Amino acid sequence: MPTRNLGLDLMRATEAAALAAARFVGRGDKEGGDRAAVEAMRLLLNSLDFRGRVVIGEGEKDQAPMLYNGEILGRGNDTLWDLAVDPVEGTRLLALGRYGAISVIAAAPEGSLFNPGPGFYAAKLVVGPEAREAIDLRASVAENLKEIARALRKEVRELTVFVLDKPRHARLVEEIRTAGARISLQTDGDVAGALAAVLPDTGVDVLMGTGGTPEGVIAAVAVRALGGGMQMRLDPQSEEERWNLIHAGYDLEKVYGLEALCAAEDTHFAATGITDGPFLRGVRYGERRAWTESLVIRGATGTLRKVEAWHRLEKLRGISPVAY
């Protein structure tokens, strides 16, 4: 029997966050844009007939107004969902008016999402369905690219690898270029990069490199639902982070697959573009209206929907305190 698609409700929250944040595009105020998105997302989530607990959030309770870990949202009394949220993924992209800022939420049954604990960074490898059996985070960059190319029936020189443009990736960039592949260097956008690697027709074949661990968990929900491949290993970037992980009992050599990162199939994922990106266009404004483009992915069925919406701003402003 058909059941409720929670992702369509979550999309309302990412739309609200994107519309609120879009007023800050290019204004150089990443804190202001993030705050506006957080407040809009919280307001919408609290209006929904569901109950969710933030397990991947933006901060702790004493750092309000961020969506903090442990916060309960929604007005339902039924099943508790784990929520991984990022009201603005790419706050610097938003502030500078650059390509690829999105608003994103992932939901999974209680206890099914990987808890990164004190880990802030992780090495990641993400590909689409055709190459999901070809990756091994323990293997070299050249070996992975060779196997990915074989799975995709391409030459290595035809592959495009998404890499965050960070000093820590200097050696990775050199190894990818030595292997012969092309690189898409982006300053930010970890979740968007993973989605670009798993979705068709984005021009990206694989994501490689170290990025945020929370963003890795968010991305894993979508990657698993779409049948892609992903591996992740904790990669602390400071001695304090390393010590905290070891003290908390984490194995820094362990490679986590999708089932460890997201243990359930009954998941929901929603993302809305804030600025233009490889698979979503950003918020656009017309006469008394705004236009958004979103993705909604349901793990139980593997269904991906792309939703275009026109929002009548005077109507929204009449019923909502959000500054649309």
Extract the annotated binding site for substrate. 89-91, 121, 166-168, 188-190, 212
The residues with which 311 forms a beta bridge, in sequence order, are 290
How big is the CA angle at 264 (ends 39 and 73), to the nearest 5 degrees? 20
The Cα–Cα gap between 22 and 20 comes to 6
Residues 56-87 as b/e (b if ≥16 CB within 10 A, e otherwise) read bbbeeeeeeebbebebebbeeeeebbbbbbbb
Cis before 214 (ω within 30): no
Detail the residues annotated as belonging to a binding site for Mn(2+). Answer: 34, 58, 86, 89, 215
Q: What one-character DSSP code corresponds to residue 132?
A: T
d(CA 170, CA 127): 21
| Separation of alpha carbons 12 and 24, rounded Å | 20
In the beta sheet, which residues pair with residue 297?
269, 304
Decide if 324 contacts 19 (C-beta within 8 A). yes
Strand partners for 54: 83
Strands 160-164 and 182-186: parallel
Handedness of CA 147, 303, 208, 158 (dihedral sign): positive
Angle, in degrees to the nearest 10, between helices 213-225 and 190-198: 20
The DSSP bridge partners found for residue 309 are: 292
* 3-class DSSP state of 25: coil
Eight-state DSSP code of residue 24 = T
**Cβ atoms 10, 17 nearer than 8 A:** no
> What is the C-alpha to C-alpha distance for residues 313 and 324, in angstroms, rounded to an integer?
7
Region of residue 180 (phi > 0: left; psi between -120 and 50: alpha; otherwise: beta): left
Q: Extract the annotated binding site.
A: 34, 58, 86, 89-91, 121, 166-168, 188-190, 212, 215
